[in-house]
Amino acid sequence: MGLKLPKDTGIMICGHGSRNQNAAKEFATLSEGLKERYPEYAIEYGYLEFCNPVIHSGLDRLKERGIKRVLAVPGMLFAAGHAKNDIPSVLNTYQAANLEMSIEYGSELGVDLKMIKAASHRIEEAIVEADKENGKAVSRHETLLMVVGRGSSDPDANSNVSKITRMLWEGMGFGWAETCYSGVTFPLVEPGLEHAAKLGYKRIIVFPYFLFTGVLIKRIFNYTDDVAARHPNVEFVKAGYLSNHPLVLDTFEDRLQDILDGRAVMNCQMCKYRDQVLGFEDQIGLPQESHHHHVEGIGGGLEDCPCKGDCDASCREEAFCKEHDLPWTPLHDHSSDHEHNRDHSHEHNNDGHHHHPYPHADHPLGPKSMIKNVEKK
């Protein structure tokens, strides 16, 4: 049926932001996709950090257009700290200063049949391409699917990636499937793929369950290449991330409709802030506040970096910026595969960016092990 909004109602899509300008462009493309579907509605987007426009700038634009009611949705796959803490904090701060505007917050994309279908399409595309290159097909029963999640200090969000894996495994009939993560938790990509390569399957499909490209996608595929070089008898196939698949846009529409219908809720039964989640009992009742105010909008100069937008974050290093005559701003370190790992394994870092300690930071399969591996490289 499509969305039906009153004239004074607008839409705000809230993203995290990335050092990789191609990722920022893809997020903007997703927002533009909604605008194309609903050109009559006021639709804006904004980021928590590293990119402009920031969220409050998008809200300002809606306000300038006479919008009185805002439907705000997190442009995120699962409800971890960014969706639970950071974005609501930014929205609440703006709401407190703009009482004439009503901001209603929606749910994350979550475990959704449309999202799983979109994921299956990306995997199917990779299979077709690999079979074409090989000149022959590899049986699904001789194929292992490796789903790579973002990784979070929230065990509920991490478990959702495993559910996505199981739904894809069972739905597509692969011989086996595994789950690993790009950071923060375990197992990380390299040890996960090393384990998978020993299981005896002819083909391993590496599928990043991510919305957009970025530093982490590049690192995931770099680790894939490293493991593939050590296991030449196994074919490694890289599947594309979700991007602006039409079913992703459909799911965003559903989340907006949920707000209109009063059904926008998060799963608080498994939330580490609300109940005694095994291993995270000391985090019950922690204040829900943003960790991103001090880096909001920082990222100037990235659009002119020598890597042409496909950034590996080296252009955020002071020496690199000086060499290439680029502006440099010291900021919170999200620049590598272990994004947040130092922060989640310690209570704070040097810039005062506070995180609760991640209880398994010393696990041999991650996350600190990746810091060591990155330093070796």
Instruction: State the Cα–Cα distance between residues 234 and 246, nearest whole angstrom.
Output: 33
Helix (H) or strand (E) holding 260, with range, is helix 246-260
Provide the pLDDT for residue 264. 78
* Residue 360 phi, psi dihedral angles, 5° rounding: -120, 35
pTM for this model (two decimals): 0.81
Tens of each residue's pLDDT in the chain, 377 residues: 689 999 999 999 999 887 777 788 888 888 899 999 999 999 999 999 878 899 999 999 999 999 999 999 999 998 777 788 889 999 999 999 999 999 999 999 999 999 999 999 999 999 999 999 999 999 999 999 999 999 988 888 899 999 999 999 999 999 999 999 999 899 999 999 999 999 999 999 999 999 988 889 999 999 999 999 999 999 999 999 999 899 999 999 999 999 999 997 765 555 655 565 555 566 666 665 555 454 455 444 455 556 655 655 555 567 777 787 776 655 444 333 333 333 333 333 333 345 567 777 778 787 875 544 444 44
Q: Does domain 113-238 have CATH number 1.10.3470.10?
A: no
Domain ranges for the chain, please list them.
113-238
Provide the pLDDT for residue 290. 56
Provide the pLDDT for residue 28. 87
Provide the pLDDT for residue 57. 95
Rg (CA), the chain: 21
Convert 165-204 to b/e letters by CB count within 10 Å (16 or more is b): bebbbeebebbbbbbbbbbbbbbbbbbbbbebbeeebebb
